[in-house]
Structure 1
């Protein structure tokens, strides 16, 4: 499979390394304006760029009829627009706030726990994420996805970014975001009551888990049409 890398930072380089190990080739890589003719050589494009570039990268790939997956966060106010363009172009698009296979299993665990906890109002839920200091957005896209799943299965209305030990509004999930050198990513959800705590946690050890998941998604999405998620890739929709 010939892969185009849209965004050639640390994640792009890790994807390149693992893709070559899986006998794929990198036919094009860029961190600037896309050369559409070079992009058209690819079987699939993988976007790990920056929030200000992601939307244009994805639309360019869709209009060039190249399947595209994106792991860039911080641009999701344009998500519905991109989905509409994908449908208009009869294209192929997959977005994930996190491509780690473990995180996507963790998403399902989080949703299931939220269902279980919905009837136990004595517990207050909180969410914490920790990332490296180079991460541009806060909270992380993964944290937002986790919060949205809790909201879907509870009476809570929204989430709010707070400082550590700061209380949020009664119907909001307090989300704490920390930035620490050389941390690949940690997400934890805690349900606290006066008598006990229940906590689930995912800790990434390196970028390779995210990169491998992106490559597996690219392998899966090739030759398909439509808008997909990692739940489709991992067959988690019916769990």
Structure 2
């Protein structure tokens, strides 16, 4: 499979290494300032850039009729616009707040736990995320996805960043040196605490999942999710 990398930072470099190990070819790669290769030769594009660049990158791929996998977060106010463009171009598209297989399993476990905990009002639920100091958006897209699944089964109205309000789910965002990504869901009562946690040890999990998504997306049409990729 011929891959275009839209965004060639730390994640892009890890994706490149794993893709080559899996027998794929990198035909194009770009950063905010430079690009090299032949974009039109790509079978699929994998996009890990920055929130301000994501929409342009995704649009570029869809308009060129190249399936696109996007792992950039912080741009989802334009999501419906990208879905419409995908449909108009009869293209194919996957975006996810996190492509890690483990995190996507965690998403399903989290939602199941939220259903179980819903009747037990004495437990107050919160979400904490910790990432490296270079991460620009807060809270993380993964934390938002976790919170939204909990809210489906909760009387709370919305999530709030670093704010404890009775009708809102608190998300705490922390930035620390060289943290790949830690997400913790805590149910706390006066009697005990129940916690679910996912800790990423390297970026390879995110990269592998993005490549799996790209392999899934090739030769398909439509808008998909990681649940489709993993069959969960």
Q: TM tier, shorter chain?
A: over 0.9
* 1:49-198 matches, cutoff 5 A: 49-162=49-162, 168-198=164-194
Tell me the TM-score normalised to structure 1 length. 0.94
* Partner SS, residue 38 of structure 2: helix
Query: Which of these residues, 201, 204, 218, is aligned with residue 205 of structure 1?
Result: 201
Q: Which runs of 4+ in 1 moved over 2 A?
A: 32-35
Question: TM-score, with normalisation over the residues of structure 2?
Answer: 0.97
Deviations 1:82-137 (A, max 9, x none): 11111111110000100000000000000000001111110000100000001010
Distance 1:34 1:183 in 2: 28
Q: How much does 1:171 deviate? A: 1.4
Among 223, 226, 230, the residue aligned to 2:226? 230
Where does structure 2 lack aligned partners over 5 or more consecutive residues?
none
Q: Distance in 1 between matches of 2:121 and 2:215?
A: 43
Q: How far apart are 1:38 and its partner, in Å?
A: 2.4
Q: Partner of 2:16: helix, strand, or coil?
A: helix
Q: How many pairs align?
A: 232
CA distance in 1, matches of 2:6, 2:102: 24
TM superposition shift of 1:33: 7.1
Q: Deviations over 1:63-88 (max 9, x none)?
A: 10000000000101111111111111
- Per mean C-alpha deviation after superposition, the further-off stretch among 40-49 and 151-160 is 151-160
Q: Distance in 1 between matches of 2:14 and 2:125?
A: 35
Deviation at 1:32, TM superposition (A): 3.1
Q: Is 1:39 aligned to residue 35 of structure 2?
A: no
CA distance in 2 between partners of 1:17 and 1:119 (Å):
47
